[in-house]
């Protein structure tokens, strides 16, 4: 008894472990009591909510977690160690101590994280500090005893005790230091630590003010340490922010300078020019070489990593045979088992690290290459010649950027695949040769056969892919044109016809898609069957050659085949990817080789070097160099500095082309063209960028407030800006959609004026504005602001000619006359013809006594009255002020993106779209059967073959192979069934979603198109639709298949060693936690990628349409910079997604490697004979794949979440509120309606959107049937809105419009719009033929069409063309002049012959003669129709029966023109007076003749 209490007991391990266990139990009891006490007294202390940023406190949390995990591992190790030998009291106490340690330190970790140990100034409570001191003392004591014991007992002493006590001593020391010497930072408020105080009070605030936001800092990647780079910890802070809040672009850090296109592109461009001379001579090969050279270091590094990864992945299969022999008892040296396990584990870690960094670097290279290509394509698009542009529509060029450049970037994943396949096959054959001798040759032959089987499939896939891309191009081209002209389609009631055109194009695309998908099915069948086929051939050969089959060797072979499956499986993918990338590179290279604008067309002279501003000598110019007739011929012009030159002529005479020549846009055949000074250009159809009005006017120049105000005044924009809610900060929609035609034109003029150039070129800028504004612009801009500048202006308004220093009269591409106004009056038939037409128009004024009116109103009186009118308006505005301030809001809102987790309903909709999900169970069943048969066949081979030669096999050789082959064939056919069903379901889903989305888009109200940039819609129709076509169904299926595979592997491993679950369950829990922690950030980054892509496309589309304007102002470099900024903005979230993905995969790989190592340790610690070595080997074979499958599963899950966003975005557009129905069956009007054409408007109020102010503020008037009504008013007075309401493009807010006593809101839209006719403000033609431009619905005969063409003077023009009615019309009708397009619109109306006809500023872009022709044609053919005209030329309103004058959305005057003119004070009389004053003065001499 006395010996029991002798001092020696204090040195016994049982006493030491009992003390330690008791101490940890004490800690647990203390924590439990403390928790209960808090619950009872319910003292919710503030500090429990405090989180501390101090690194030491964070370390205590991780440290306690580490000790807990370490204790668990030791506990399990000791348990298995004891499992194989006798149990004793000492072992039981040791295990209990370790289990208590595991629980106690886990609890400490949670309490520290929650702040439960906080105590005033200190982080630790008194109890914890006291316990830490005792714990340190006990641990140190145990450690000393262990060292003494080790020296006495030597090798017999269990090393794990020493390690455990050493770790405990270190931890005790650290905790004592933190507990006793480190104070809570919250109580030390010195200045340095202040910013850390309220760390969690308001994340947004601190991010905003104290800490620089992500968007202002460079990515931590560029300065991360080696450990941070290895483990991807540098991306951790971003993932943490994503967990706290929804990530925005501002939170994403800037790219490292090496990845930013702004710094990488100049080098690339220089190399490109040095290598190819000019970009126009680039070949695909040179382009590839340059792209590789731009990232050669990374390419070499990824090659090294890929090599390392391949070598490491073959260590497992190589060692399996040895491992099975070891389990069978054939030990070659002591601790061989531990050496094997360590090698397995080390190889896994190397494989994991090399693969993660290889993938990350590959994506980094891909991003860089994509950015370089996008920038190169963009810069090329800015310099394309007109002819090249006609060959490629904007839709196609955008596709080079969105699809082709993207694909070349993606190829970086596949870069090393080809040589790796060769390496992997070689290594596999070496391992097979070691195990199976000469049978490995059969394996090699089988592998080659499988690979060759893939060649025809690969080339078929390439062919179908190319066809698919081409048909997608055609569809996108049509879609983009339709979206641009949606307003016209709606006005004409043609949208459903054009939808069927898109559906038709999609049907062709679907044909290729179907072929592509079913070819992919065959590829998939061949490659999932590949390992089975190779193994059947190999084992069959072994049987024939008499090579003995042992389970170890078979398992090694099976593991090798499984690794070999990857290169064989990815080979078709790689081949098809190489093919696709080659197609894309060829397309890009051929685009880069297109002709550019020739720089030698214009000889540019520096300012001041010559007294002539523009000089053309014997100029011959042609848009189409192959055509025998030049567009302009024998041009001789000399313009001195400061001259005002007017260009006039009939429609299609070459006026606009002359200006384009000066800009250097038209190819020169011969002659000399010199320009001295900088240029500014105002195009005929306004080009406005989306963005603020201010930015449009400044156009990249710095703000000079005084000049800016002057320009606004000259362009009479002040008034318009007052009306807009945000003034000049208003964001303009795409193509200036929320501005009237006149406002767009005036902003364009303001942009030119602000640039302060030397030469100004105006292409008929006054046609789109009303008479008053036109004369104001002419006087203020041309005659005053630009008095000292050179101005060349094209005009149809004869009243602007008398003040010109030189007039050029054009006809059929020649300058037929030039000279001053008075000289031309006396000589020159062509000029007299134009003047005659104008005089005729003016004569309509004389019977109305216009001349006397003009003489009586003095200008001062007129100004006063104008002043008074403005005051009155501003007063009205004040009265409506409250209304407006509430409704302030921009028209174009930021693109909506869903936030948070993708709803499960999105997945459900995607899965159940096709056949209501009927195929899903069959697909899953096929996969489960495949997995079961695969495992069954491998299990059979492991069980039915002997461990070594001296063991008798359980079955005969023939049976062995027969069963194996049967199982193998079964599994292969399961794969075929699965792939077929999946392709069918995927194809059907894509078709249904496409049709739903397009129907919703085409049925959306016009307001949707006004507020949605077409880039957003195109993005969904191209990128997102592509994802649904070829990615998403397979991504979802792939995830389900991997889950089934993973469950299969776990089942096999747990069959051998259920104890694997002890570690597997916590590992899976941690994996899921990691995945949940990662997903919020990854999901938002993916959405940001989607949101950042649209601006690039939109900016690109805008650049293409405004290229000539950009070039004329020499702003190419500014636009190139913006494009690079946007490209970097897109790369930022992409780069961080790549980093975050690898951050997660690295952690999961390490966890699964630990699971694998643990199962191996268990297998070598189990006593020999307990487990069948063959089956144990099978578990290891499957375990080798565990980390790959687990990482693949998580990768797939995240990828699926990222990709499914495309479905989410498409579904968003299937829920757009639709317009009212096209046809209301119970309320269809009579076929002859409207028979009188009486339009009755009652108290009409209209606003464009609920958050915008009223535009029409209560109109009541009646347009009598058969009468002509003219609507006039200043720009922005509501003229166009009234017309849009008539066609129900905008629905009335209150009030109603009756046509022949039918309320237009009670009938279907198609019934309404098809019975009304309109010649719209912007004359539009569609790509196609002359016939389908006049009659898209195919309702009329050729005779009727020819008759109409003759009526609108286009008959001869069309007869001249080769194809007559089938002659081509290019995109936007660009091969027709503006005036000719207007005549085509007239032709459409003549075909339709409606009772109500609307002319919306229809004659704005034609010369007076053509205008007279249009008026005459209309009078002749619509004499009994109601004609409503919005016009800027007073002459076109004067012969109306009634005139309606609108001002600020209210009716100011409504009466007959005669009566209004008799009342000298009427606003209409003033407008007429002004027009005649302006037009009459120059004509007096001529009239007196």
**What pLDDT shows up at residue 1406?**
64
d(CA 261, CA 1069): 41
Cα–Cα dist 195/211, whole Å: 9
User: CA–CA separation, 1205 vs 316, rounded Å?
Assistant: 38
For the stretch 527-572, pLDDT in tens is: 777 777 888 888 888 888 888 777 777 877 877 777 777 776 667 6
Phi, psi of 807, rounded to the nearest 5 degrees: -120, 130
Q: Give 121 or 580, the one with higher predicted confidence.
A: 580
Give start and end residues of each alpha helix (H) in 1371-1433.
1378-1392, 1408-1421
User: Does residue 138 contact residue 23 with C-beta atoms inside 8 Å?
Assistant: yes
Neighbouring residues of 768: CB distance < 8 A, sequence distance ≥ 6: 686, 741, 742, 744, 745, 1321, 1401, 1404, 1405, 1432
Residues 1077 and 355 sit within 8 Å (Cβ to Cβ)? no
CB atoms within 10 A of CB 1204: 23
Give the C-alpha separation, 323 to 677, whole Å.
84
Mean pLDDT of the chain: 79
Least confident of 519-523, 1057-1061, 1424-1428: 1057-1061
Q: In the numeric block, which tokens belong to residue 803? A: 């003040």
Reading the block at residue 922, the tokens are 């069959």
The percent helix, strand, coil of the chain (3-state, each to 5) is 65, 10, 25
Residue whose C-alpha is closest to residue 1249's, from 1279, 1284, 1293, 1280: 1293
Mean pLDDT of 915-939: 89
675 touches 613 (CB < 8 A): yes
Task: Provide the pLDDT confidence category of residue 1405 given band limits of 50, 70 and 90.
Answer: low
Ranked by mean pLDDT, the top range of 304-313, 525-534, 650-659 is 304-313
Confidence class of residue 872 from pLDDT cuts 50, 70 and 90?
very low
The larger pLDDT score, comparing residue 57 to residue 422, is at: 422
pLDDT for residue 1487: 36
pLDDT at position 187 is 40
Question: Using 50, 70 and 90 to split pLDDT, how confident is the model at 120?
Answer: low
- φ/ψ of 165, rounded to 5, equals -70, -35
Q: Which of 454, 455, 443 is nearest to 531 (CA)?
A: 443
- At residue 1187 the predicted structure's pLDDT band, cuts being 50, 70 and 90, is low
Rounded to whole angstroms, how far apart are CA atoms 932 and 1045? 9
Torsion angles phi and psi, residue 214, rounded to 5: -50, -45
Which helix H or strand E contains 995, and what residues bound it?
A: helix 957-1002
Q: Which of 15-19, 1186-1190, 1216-1220 has the highest mean pLDDT?
A: 1216-1220
Q: CA 754 to CA 776: how far, in whole Å? A: 17
pLDDT digits (tens, 9 = 90+) for 615-639: 888 888 888 777 778 888 888 888 8
Q: Please tell me the predicted confidence (pLDDT) of residue 924.
A: 92
pLDDT at 303: 92
Which segment of 901-905, 1203-1207, 1209-1213 scores lowest on mean pLDDT?
Answer: 901-905
In contact, 28 and 107? CB cutoff 8 Å:
yes
Count Cβ atoms within 10 A of the Cβ of residue 1136 and give its class: 0-12 exposed, 13-18 middle, 19 or more buried: buried
Q: In what order do the strands lie in the sheet with 806-811?
A: 679-682, 759-763, 790-794, 644-649, 806-811, 814-819
Tokens 């601006």 belong to 1095
Residues sharing a CB contact under 8 Å with residue 332, sequence separation 6 or more, in sequence order: none
Residue with the bigger pLDDT between 114 and 795: it is 795
Query: How much of the chain, in percent, has pLDDT values that exceed 70?
Result: 86
Position 1017 pLDDT exceeds 70:
yes
Query: What mean pLDDT do residues 831-854 have?
Result: 57
pLDDT at 361 over 50: yes
| In the chain, % of residues over pLDDT 90 | 6
- Read off the pLDDT of residues 265-299 as tens digits, 9 standing for 90 and up: 888 888 888 887 777 778 888 888 888 888 888 88
pLDDT score, position 868: 30
Residue 991: the pLDDT is 92
Neighbouring C-beta atoms of residue 963, cutoff 10 Å: 16
- C-alpha to C-alpha distance for 522 and 983, rounded to whole angstroms: 11
pLDDT at 194: 30
- What tokens were used for 265? 């592109």
Can you give the pLDDT at residue 988? 92
- Distance (Å, whole) CA 152 – CA 140: 19
| pLDDT value for 154 | 61
User: How many residues belong to the chain?
Assistant: 1489
- What does the pLDDT average to over 1348-1352? 83
CB neighbours of 1381 closer than 8 A, spacing ≥ 6?
A: 1323, 1324, 1325, 1373
What pLDDT does residue 828 have? Answer: 62
């Amino acid at each position: 008894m006395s010996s029991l209490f002798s001092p020696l007991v204090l040195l016994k391990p049982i006493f030491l472990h009992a003390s330690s266990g008791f101490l940890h139990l004490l800690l647990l009891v203390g924590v439990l009591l403390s928790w209960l006490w808090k619950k009872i007294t319910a003292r919710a202390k503030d500090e429990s909510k405090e989180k501390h940023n101090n690194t030491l406190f964070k370390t205590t949390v991780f440290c306690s977690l580490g000790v807990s995990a370490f204790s668990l591992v030791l506990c399990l190790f000791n348990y298995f160690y004891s499992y194989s030998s006798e149990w004793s009291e000492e072992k039981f106490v040791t295990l209990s101590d370790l289990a208590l340690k595991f629980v106690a330190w886990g609890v400490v970790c949670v309490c520290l994280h929650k702040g439960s140990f906080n105590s005033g100034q200190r982080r630790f409570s008194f109890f914890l500090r006291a316990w830490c001191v005792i714990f340190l003392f006990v641990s140190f004591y145990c450690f000393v005893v262990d060292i003494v014991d080790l020296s006495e007992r030597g090798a017999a002493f269990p090393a794990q005790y020493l390690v455990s006590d050493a770790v405990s001593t270190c931890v005790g020391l650290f905790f004592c230091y933190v507990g006793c010497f480190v104070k809570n930072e919250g109580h030390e408020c010195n200045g340095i630590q202040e910013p850390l105080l309220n760390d969690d009070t308001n994340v947004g605030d601190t991010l905003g003010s104290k800490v620089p936001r992500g968007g202002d800092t460079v990515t931590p990647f560029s300065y991360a340490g080696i450990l941070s780079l290895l483990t991807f910890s540098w991306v951790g802070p971003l993932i943490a922010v994503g967990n706290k809040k929804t990530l925005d672009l501002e939170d994403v850090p800037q790219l490292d300078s090496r990845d930013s296109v702004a710094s990488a592109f100049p080098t690339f461009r220089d190399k490109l020019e040095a290598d190819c001379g000019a970009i126009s001579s680039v070949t695909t090969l040179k382009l590839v070489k340059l792209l590789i050279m731009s990232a050669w270091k990374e390419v070499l590094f990824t090659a090294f990593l890929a090599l390392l990864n391949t070598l490491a992945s073959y260590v497992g299969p190589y060692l399996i045979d040895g491992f099975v022999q070891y389990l069978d008892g054939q030990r070659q040296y002591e601790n061989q088992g531990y050496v094997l396990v360590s090698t397995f584990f080390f190889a896994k870690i190397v494989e994991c690290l090399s693969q993660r960094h290889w993938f990350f670097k590959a994506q980094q290279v891909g991003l860089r290459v994509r950015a370089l290509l996008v920038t190169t394509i963009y810069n090329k698009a800015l310099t394309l010649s007109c002819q090249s542009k006609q060959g490629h529509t904007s839709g196609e060029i955008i596709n080079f950027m969105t699809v082709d450049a993207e694909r070349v970037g993606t190829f970086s994943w596949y870069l090393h695949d080809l040589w790796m396949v060769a390496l992997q096959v070689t290594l596999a054959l070496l391992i097979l040769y070691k195990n199976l001798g000469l049978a490995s040759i059969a394996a090699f032959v089988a592998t080659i056969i499988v690979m060759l089987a893939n060649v025809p499939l690969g080339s078929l896939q390439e062919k179908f892919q190319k066809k698919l891309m081409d048909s997608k191009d055609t569809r996108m081209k049509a879609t983009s044109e339709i979206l641009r002209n949606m307003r016209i389609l709606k006005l004409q009631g043609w949208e459903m016809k054009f939808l069927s055109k898109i559906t038709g194009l999609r049907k062709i695309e679907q044909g290729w898609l179907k072929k592509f998908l079913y070819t992919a099915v065959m590829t998939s069948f061949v490659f999932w069957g590949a390992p089975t086929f190779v193994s059947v051939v190999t084992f069959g050969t072994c049987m024939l050659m008499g090579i003995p089959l042992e389970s170890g060797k078979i398992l090694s072979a099976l593991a090798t085949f499984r690794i070999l499956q990857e290169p064989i499986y990815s080979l078709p993918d790689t081949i098809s990817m190489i093919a696709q990338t080659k197609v894309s590179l060829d397309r890009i290279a051929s685009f880069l080789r297109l002709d550019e604008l020739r720089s030698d067309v214009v000889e540019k002279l520096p300012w001041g070097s010559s007294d002539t501003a523009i000089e053309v000598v014997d100029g011959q110019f042609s848009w189409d160099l192959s055509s025998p007739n030049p567009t302009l011929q024998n041009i001789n012009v000399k313009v001195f500095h400061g001259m005002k030159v007017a260009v006039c002529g009939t429609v299609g005479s070459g006026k606009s082309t002359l200006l384009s020549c000066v800009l250097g846009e038209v190819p020169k055949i011969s002659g000399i063209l010199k320009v001295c000074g900088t240029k500014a250009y105002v195009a005929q159809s306004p080009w406005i960028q989306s963005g603020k009005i201010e930015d449009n006017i400044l156009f990249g120049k710095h703000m000079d407030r005084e000049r800016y105000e002057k320009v606004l005044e000259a362009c009479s924009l002040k008034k318009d800006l007052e009306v807009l809610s945000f003034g000049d900060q208003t964001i303009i929609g795409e193509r200036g959609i929320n501005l009237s035609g006149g406002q767009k034109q005036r902003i364009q003029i303001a942009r030119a004026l602000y640039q302060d150039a030397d030469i100004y070129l105006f292409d008929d800028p006054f046609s789109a504005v009303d008479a008053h504004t036109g004369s104001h612009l002419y006087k203020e801009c041309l005659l005053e602001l630009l008095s000292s500048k050179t101005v060349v202006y094209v005009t149809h308004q004869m009243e602007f000619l008398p003040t010109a220093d030189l007039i050029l009269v054009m006809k059929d591409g020649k300058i037929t006359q030039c000279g001053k106004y008075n000289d031309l009056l006396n000589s020159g038939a062509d000029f007299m013809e134009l003047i005659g037409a104008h005089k005729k128009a003016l004569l309509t004024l004389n019977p109305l006594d216009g001349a006397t009116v003009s003489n009586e109103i003095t200008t001062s009186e007129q100004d006063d009255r104008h002043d008074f009118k403005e005051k009155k308006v501003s007063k009205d505005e004040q009265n409506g002020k409250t209304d407006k301030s509430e409704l302030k809001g921009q028209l174009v809102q930021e693109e909506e993106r869903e936030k948070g987790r993708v709803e499960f309903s999105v997945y459900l909709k995607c899965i159940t779209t096709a056949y209501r999900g009927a195929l899903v169970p069959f697909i899953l069943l096929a996969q489960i059967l495949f997995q079961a048969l695969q495992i069954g066949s491998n299990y059979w081979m492991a069980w039915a073959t002997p461990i070594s030669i001296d063991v008798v096999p359980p079955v005969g050789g023939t049976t062995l192979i027969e069963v194996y082959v049967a199982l193998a064939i079964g599994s292969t056919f399961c794969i075929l069934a699965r792939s077929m069903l999946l392709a069918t379901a995927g194809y059907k889903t894509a078709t249904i979603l496409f049709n739903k989305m397009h129907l919703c888009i085409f049925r959306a109200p016009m307001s949707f198109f006004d507020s949605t940039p077409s880039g957003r819609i195109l993005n969904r129709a191209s990128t997102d639709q592509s994802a649904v076509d070829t990615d998403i169904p397979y991504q979802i299926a792939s995830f389900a298949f991997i889950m089934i595979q993973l469950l299969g592997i776990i089942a096999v491993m747990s069959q051998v060693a259920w104890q694997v679950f002890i570690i597997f369950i916590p590992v899976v829990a941690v994996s899921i936690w990691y995945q949940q922690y990662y997903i919020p950030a990854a999901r938002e980054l993916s959405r940001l990628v989607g949101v950042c892509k649209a601006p690039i496309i939109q900016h690109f589309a805008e650049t293409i349409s405004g290229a000539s304007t950009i070039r004329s102002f020499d702003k190419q470099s500014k636009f190139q910079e913006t494009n690079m900024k946007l490209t970097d903005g897109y790369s930022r979230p992409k780069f961080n997604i790549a980093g975050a993905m690898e951050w997660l995969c690295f952690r999961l790989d390490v966890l699964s490697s630990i699971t694998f190592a643990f199962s191996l340790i268990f297998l070598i610690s189990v006593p020999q004979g307990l487990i069948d070595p063959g089956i144990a080997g099978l578990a290891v074979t499957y375990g080798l794949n565990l980390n790959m499958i687990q990482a693949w599963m998580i990768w797939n899950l995240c990828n699926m979440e990222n990709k499914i966003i495309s479905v989410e975005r498409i579904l968003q557009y299937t829920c757009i509120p639709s317009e009212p129905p096209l046809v209301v069956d119970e309320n269809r009007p009579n076929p002859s309606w409207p028979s009188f054409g009486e339009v009755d408007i009652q108290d009409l109020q209209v606003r464009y959107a609920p958050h915008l102010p009223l535009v029409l503020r209560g109109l009541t008037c009646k347009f009598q049937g058969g009468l002509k009504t003219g609507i006039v008013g200043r720009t922005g007075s509501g003229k166009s809105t009234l017309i849009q309401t008539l066609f129900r493009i905008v629905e009335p807010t209150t009030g109603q419009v009756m046509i022949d006593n039918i309320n237009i809101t009670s009938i279907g839209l198609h019934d309404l719009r098809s019975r009304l006719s309109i010649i719209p403000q912007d004359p539009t033609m569609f790509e196609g033929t002359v016939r389908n431009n006049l009659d898209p619905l195919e309702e009329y005969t050729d005779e009727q069409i020819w008759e109409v063409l003759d009526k609108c003077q286009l008959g001869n023009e069309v007869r001249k063309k080769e194809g007559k009615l089938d002659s081509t019309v290019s995109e936007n009708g660009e091969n027709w002049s503006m005036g000719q397009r207007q005549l085509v619109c007239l032709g459409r109306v003549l075909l339709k012959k409606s009772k109500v006809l609307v002319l919306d500023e229809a004659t704005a872009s034609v010369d007076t003669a053509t205008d007279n022709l249009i008026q005459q044609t209309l009078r002749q053919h619509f004499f009994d129709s109601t004609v409503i005209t919005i016009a800027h030329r007073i002459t076109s309103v004067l012969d109306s029966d009634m005139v309606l004058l609108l001002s600020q959305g209210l009716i100011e005057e409504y009466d007959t023109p005669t009566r209004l003119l008799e009342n000298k004070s009427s606003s209409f009389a003033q407008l007429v007076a002004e027009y005649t004053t302006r037009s009459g003065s120059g004509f007096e001499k001529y009239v007196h003749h």
